[in-house]
Amino acid sequence: MTGRLEVGGLALVIRCAENPEMVGKCVTLERRVAPGEAVRFGGMSFRPAKDVCWIVSGDGLQSFNAYRGNRSVPYAGFAERNLMPLRGDEQPQLQRVEELTT
């Protein structure tokens, strides 16, 4: 990783087993959630079981539900290990990733 994840920063989704189309999305970090902590944010509930999680916002976010399938959401939760922090100097790399994923 090239930096630290921090509230208000940008991150790149690098893994998402439930929704592979989320990989490569640029997201804004809204809130860090510790394992076992229950949080309501933006009308949604988050409670990571064992990993640190980040609540993120961004365009085209989707949530997977086994009963309802994929649906668009304003916020999503990702395990910290599935996010790569971005800084201003990584902007050309982000643009290249977006070109490859669209």
What is the spatial distance between Cα 90 and Cα 85, in angstroms, rounded to a whole number?
9
| Cα R_g (the chain), whole angstroms | 13
pLDDT of residue 63: 77
- Structure token pair of residue 5: 């994840």
pLDDT of residue 67: 67
The predicted model scores a pTM of 0.76
Residue 102 pLDDT > 80, yes or no?
A: no
Helices (H) and strands (E) in the chain, counts: 1, 9
Over residues 74-93, the pLDDT tens digits come to: 898 999 999 999 975 555 55
pLDDT of residue 33: 94
Over residues 56-66, the pLDDT tens digits come to: 999 988 876 66
